[in-house]
Amino acid sequence: MFSTKIKILFLFIATTLSSLSAQMTISKLDSMAVFSFSIMSDNKGYSVENPDMYKCDKWIREAGDRFILGLGDHVKDNRKNPFLDLIKNDTLWHNHFYPNVADGENEYWGTGQGDWGAGAPILNYVDLSKRKNVKIRKNKCEYYAVEEYDGIKVHIIQLHYSDTPTDPAIAFNESTRKYLFDTLDSIDKTDNDIIVVLAHTGPWVNQLSEERKLKLMNKADLVLGATTHRYKRYYFLGEDVDTGAIAFNTGSVGNSPTYNGFLQVHVFKNPTRMIVQYQETKNDTRKLQGEGFAYEKVINGKISDIDWNTFLAKESGWNGPSPHIVKQLQTIADKFKKYSVVLKPDKDEAEYWAGAPSVVRDEDGIFWMAARMRSPEYPRGLRGYEIRILKSEDGIHFNKYHSIFREDVPIPGFERPALLIDPVTKKFKLYACGPWQQGPWSIIKFNDVSDLKDIDPTSAHPVIVPPVKQYARDVSVKEYKDPVIIFAEGKYHCYVTGYIRRNERLFHFVSDDGENWDPVGNVNQPIMDLDNWHNFFIRPASVLPLGIGYLFIYEGSSTQWYDPVYNLGTGFGFTFDLHNIIDLTTESPLLLSTTPGKFYTFRYSDWIWVNGELWIYAEVAKKNNSHEIRLTRISIE
């Protein structure tokens, strides 16, 4: 256990020296989008054993793409085609891949590339005919499908146009063209309908009459071709036209002399629009793409280049800087993409929060959590209506055990509680905070109990209160809140948020019994500075013993961020003596919400050791601006 703690200490310190590519910003794009999907082609039978296909598959899964559109040439005659095994046996590809029948498929299953429609058996490898959202033509190689997510429909029209025969009247026959426009006519298009049309052979739109071309480009949103193995944007209506469908040649995965890669599309609401990027597999990681490789297409609206400097900020309705994590810290931040939700708010709506978890584990291995429940129905600053006590045998699945409502104390509102087990009596100690008896916010404590159901709400009494003013203009701390308490080095240590000169700062108290507390040093001297990214507020979050010192987890916000009172990130410090703290994350927070809306909040985290693993419970913002309690488990190897 000691060696494990040493490892995590050096792991956290080493993050300041490590390097990573710009995956941080694209992962933020993933989390902000309503959903995403990808388009790939011309892999010539290659599967994940091919380095380009390996990255394609990995990045599709990394983004959480809901489905994958194919542009054909997914097989190659006279050689092994492991891609067929992938789409037949892998759950993602089998259930969510939409192949295109092209010349490679005709050659593989038929007499040659010009054997029109002979490649239709590829559809059987994904059991396309069994999908309820798909209508396959009688020719068995063309089809229409609809994918719907969060009220947005993606209409997929897959056409058969092989490279041979070279006569487009045969290869792209009138039956196929009529099917395309009959299908387009059948779609009652709104701003929440995205129409994607796919055919393999290059700039196939140029084979249409001018009337048909205009109809297609003005109703569809994304028009796609392949064949050349080179990524390219097409301007079928002219380079000066910024409306209508956006059109591409999708390049190739593993078979291109220049641009191996695939298209990835992120879909957003209000207004409904697509962010389309070409991800080159020559790169080590996915990246936000630059000019010529990234576009925004508003449904029934304009096409424009992407300015990443303002895009993410504008998504939150904020034109200033947004919270971000610097690249050298991303290796740790990425570990928090995987989590379990352990407590949801009572309503999954904006400003309803389940948060401020404080977790202990008793001698029988039972996990106990105290959490604050919050509702926007009450005045701001007094919205915490309940301290909820929860019980769990595994630390993951919690059940409500008891509740303390603010009316029971009484107190106008709660914020963060702190739950401990007395190392001597083994009784529970529960602390809270709020405006005490029409006075300032203070740290309060309930009487110790052996069973948390026996807590007497009326036993609450103040244990840390603001100092009395010494003179008229005294600027001493006005309020205390959000206690973080640990028993270490033979004493109880309490770290609190103190409100001084209209700023939230971090203060340290000690106690022999958990009842009577004294400030460490001057009562008005904070232990960390307002500086760098945490120049607006700084608060305590958790203290984690490491054997040769303590990891000090704190949270803060920047004066430049949107609503920095509530928009909080989490950072790390280290201390040997529990008072003098070395800031390890000076350039940016280490942790932010992986599902931000207007807020990137990752706060009120509680870090504990569980059987050699590091378990982190935290209050985290969701896209709809509600908060939930999440658990991330990190194995230290």
Q: How many CB atoms lie within 10 A of CB 172?
A: 21
Q: Which pLDDT belongs to residue 18?
A: 37
Q: What is the DSSP letter of 621?
A: E
Helices 210-219, 174-186: inter-axial angle, 10-degree rounding: 40
Integer Cα distance of 263 and 266 in angstroms: 10
Residue entry with tokens 């992962």: 27
Q: Which pLDDT belongs to residue 24?
A: 35
Residue entry with tokens 């298209």: 263
Q: Which pLDDT belongs to residue 520?
A: 97
Q: Which pLDDT belongs to residue 326?
A: 86
Q: Which CATH number fits domain 347-527: 3.30.70.120, 1.25.40.10, 2.115.10.20, 3.20.20.80?
A: 2.115.10.20
Could you give the residue range(s) of every CATH 3.60.21.10 domain in the chain?
33-315
> Is the distance from CB of 279 to CB of 289 less than 8 angstroms?
yes
Taking the whole predicted model, whether its pTM rises above 0.95 is answered as no
Question: What is the homologous superfamily of the domain 33-315 according to CATH?
Answer: Metallo-dependent phosphatases (3.60.21.10)
Residues (pLDDT < 50) of the chain are 13-24
Which residues, in sequence order, are CB contacts of 356 under 8 Å at separation 6+? Answer: 371, 372, 384, 415, 416, 417, 482, 604, 619
Could you give the residue range(s) of every CATH 2.115.10.20 domain in the chain?
347-527
Q: Which pLDDT belongs to residue 317?
A: 62
Q: Which pLDDT belongs to residue 332?
A: 87
Q: Which pLDDT belongs to residue 9?
A: 53
Q: How many CA atoms lie within 13 A of 66 on its CB side?
A: 16
Which residues, in sequence order, are CB contacts of 611 under 8 Å at separation 6+? Answer: none
Integer Cα distance of 149 and 330 in angstroms: 30
Q: Which two tokens stand for residue 612?
A: 């050699």
Q: What is the DSSP letter of 254?
A: S
Provide Rg for the chain, Cα atoms: 29
> Is the distance from CB of 66 to CB of 35 less than 8 angstroms?
yes
Q: Which pLDDT belongs to residue 406?
A: 96
